[in-house]
Amino acid sequence: MNVIVKPPFRREAMRIAGKLVQTDDIVEVFHPYDNSVVGTVPAARPEHVRDAFAKARAFKPKLTRYERQQILQRTAEILRDRKEEFARLIVAETGLCWKDGLYEASRAYDVWSFAAQLTIRDDGEIYACDISPMGKARKIFTTRTPLLGVISAITPFNHPLNMVSHKLAPAIATNNRVVLKPTELTPLTALALADVLYEAGLPPEMLSVVTGNPSTMGDAMITDPDADLVTFTGSVRVGKHIANTAGYKRVVLELGGNDPLIVMEDADLDKAAELAVAGATRNSGQRCTAVKRILVVNAVADEFSKLVAEIAKTLKSGDPLDPSTDVGTVINERSAILFENRVNAAVELGAEVLHGAPRQGALFAPTVVDHVPYDCELVREETFGPVIPIIRCPGDIAEVIRISNSTAYGLSSGVCTDRLDYINRFVTELEVGTVNVWEAPGYRIEMSPFGGIKDSGLGDKEGVVEAMKSFTHVRTWSMPWT
């Protein structure tokens, strides 16, 4: 296959209740590999955000379950049919490689299709009341209702289609209205997705997309009087700002991760090394659940790190639009410089680089670093790029668990062992939202509950099933029943 052609330059407008809205000021969107401008979006002011929420609030969604199912499934099918078009847009604005772009477009199909299948299911419950001496001949029924107000959705750059889909699909499945603010770094995919939804039959008042600089209009997304719930995926810093600013509103926070892959002495080391490299480098290492630390016990560390370096050397880092590239760029040069500095600082503390390449702009090749001190910045903070840091641990599971739990994060984890006693302890004692045995921390299906604790989130889960719950109120009603 030849090099993929970048999509034509897009001068985008916002979508406010389906209307195209421009502003005088714009934000440029860059292709990180060559810094070319691939498009522009309007720089909204707070009054644009207010207008979007007011229009959404004024509209009362009345879609039946059947109608919602049809819109969601049509959206899934359009995305499947235009997978390559979306992948091109993702690659253009993120610098992720073509393989990652295609993978993301396929995942998004699942999100929309699962939401379509779940929207026709009624999860109401019935409680009989004649179950105690004080009981009565009545029944209490539960039903889930959409929010009275509007959902404010704020999304990150690393999955410009999938993260947005995880907010919008459950919202539509539950008959909610949404104002979405995609990141200013990768807003083009979100705008293209909004058009697909309108095409699939979504009443335009149910979805607005506003764009711009968060310093100007970010707080308007958090404090709007018509926003009942703020659902945010992004960094801990911004997540905590939202928690402090939102006031009397529901907030769903899906924040950063610092996920370990743990390799015990009984592990099949070839299999573990494959998981380590893929988990740390897919999506240029820019997944909240990427492998960000590898904890390997001393007894097998020499052999394991050799295998990791061998596999990492087979990965091709380079032009994201070349279909044979395995790892594209990170989001921008500033981030790449940060990772470079953190690797250098770890080396000063005794770590050893087993494989890597000089940084070129935003291109930061997979970098294997062995003997990383478990508490240095490279692994204590979230390093959101394709670094593969190996931390050698004593062969004592309590110590492995202590090191794993030593960061502020608690999103997910992967564990390479067949020993049930170890598995039992990891599942019980790791301070995380997910433990995947013999899988990378990022493994999930788009429907299963997903989300972290500690600084990684407040414990609310995403995934279509849980998001549909968090975007609704449970109403109970009762009546006489013999």
Q: Which residues bind ligand NAD (CB under 6 A)?
A: 154-158, 163, 181, 183-184, 214, 218-219, 221-222, 233-235, 238, 241, 254-257, 288, 382, 384, 411, 452, 457
């790892």: which residue's tokens?
A: 327
* Three-class DSSP category at 242: helix
CB closer to ligand NAD out of 74 and 287: 287
Nearer to ligand NAD, 14 or 78 (CB): 14
Residues 6+ apart with CB under 8 A from 34: none
**Alpha carbons 268 and 317: distance in angstroms, whole number:** 27
Active-site pick, 93, 97, 104, 288: 288
Strand order in the sheet with 36-42: 10-11, 36-42, 26-31
* Angle at the Cα of 206 from the Cα atoms of 204 and 210, rounded to 5 degrees: 80
The catalytic position among 104, 254, 333, 466 is 254
Q: Measured from the CB of residue 283, what is the shortest distance to ligand NAD in angstroms?
A: 10
The radius of gyration computed from the CA coordinates of the chain, to the nearest angstrom, equals: 23
Q: How far is the CB of 137 from ligand NAD (least distance, A)?
A: 46
User: Which C-beta is closer to ligand NAD: that of 228 or that of 254?
Assistant: 254
Six token digits for residue 364 = 């930061």
Cα separation, 167 vs 111, whole angstroms: 10
DSSP string across 383-409: --SSEEEEEEE-S-HHHHHHHHTTSSE
Closest distance to ligand NAD from the beta carbon of 148 (Å)? 23
Please, what is the minimum distance in Å from the beta carbon of residue 156 to ligand NAD?
3
State the residue number with the nearest CB to ligand NAD: 218
Cβ atoms of 231 and 202 closer than 8 Å:
no
Structure tokens that stand for 91 in this block: 């690659």
Nearer to ligand NAD, 235 or 360 (CB): 235
Judged by beta carbon, residue 318 or residue 414, the one nearer ligand NAD is 414
Which are the contacts of 215, defined by CB distance < 8 A and separation ≥ 6? none
- Indicate the residue among 153 and 351 with the shorter CB distance to ligand NAD: 153
* CB of residue 416 to ligand NAD, shortest distance in Å: 22
385 token code pair? 């790029």
Residue 158 CB, shortest distance to ligand NAD, in Å, is 5
Active-site annotation holds for 333? no
CB of 337 to ligand NAD, least distance (A): 15
Provide the β-strand partners of residue 143: 475
How far is it, in rounded angstroms, from Cα 227 to Cα 250?
9
Nearer to ligand NAD, 194 or 255 (CB): 255
- 393 as an active site residue: the answer is no
Of 361, 299, 352, the closest CA to residue 330 belongs to: 361
Cα torsion at 457, 100, 192, 167 (round to 10°)?
A: -20
Of 158 and 317, CB closest to ligand NAD: 158
Tokens of residue 446, six digits: 């788009």
> Quick one: which H or E segment has residue 153?
strand 150-154
283 dihedral zone (left: phi>0; alpha: psi -120 to 50; beta): left
φ, ψ of residue 141 to 5 degrees: the values are -110, 150
Task: Give least dist CB 9 to ligand NAD, A.
Answer: 22
Active site residues per annotation: 254, 288
